Amino acid sequence: MRINVKQQELIGNILDDLKKHFPEVRFVDITESPENPNDLWINVTEPEDEDKEIELRKFFSEKCTDILMDYGYHILVMPIR
């Protein structure tokens, strides 16, 4: 998996937002999507509260859509157990 400088910057911004808005959620790792190796998944721990998980998914879906539209990089935040 190759991550360029701009992707690193965008991932850093996502992780900063994660710490700021969801301090109970932890970064796990970054993987390629099984469907497309150009897509990146930022794996994070799943929030304990279901409402918080919905909030996390909504927050990052908007942010990741903006990244896709602005830069052409498909990056997803994926809560895992």
The domain ranges of the chain are 5-80
Cα 7 to Cα 2: distance, rounded to the nearest angstrom: 10
- For 13-29, how does the pLDDT look when each residue is reduced to its tens digit (9 = 90+)? 999 999 999 999 999 99
Q: Return d(Cα 20, Cα 28) in angstroms, integer.
A: 16
Distance between CA atoms of residues 50 and 57, nearest Å: 11
Nearest to residue 72, comparing CAs of 25, 40, 29, 33? 40
Give the right CATH number for 5-80 from 3.30.70, 3.30.300, 3.40.50, 1.10.3470.
Answer: 3.30.300
Per the CB < 8 A criterion, the answer to whether 42 and 27 are in contact is: yes
Per-residue pLDDT tens over the stretch 25-69: 999 999 999 999 999 999 999 999 999 999 999 999 999 999 999
Question: Could you tell me if 15 and 43 are in contact, meaning their C-beta atoms sit under 8 angstroms apart?
Answer: no
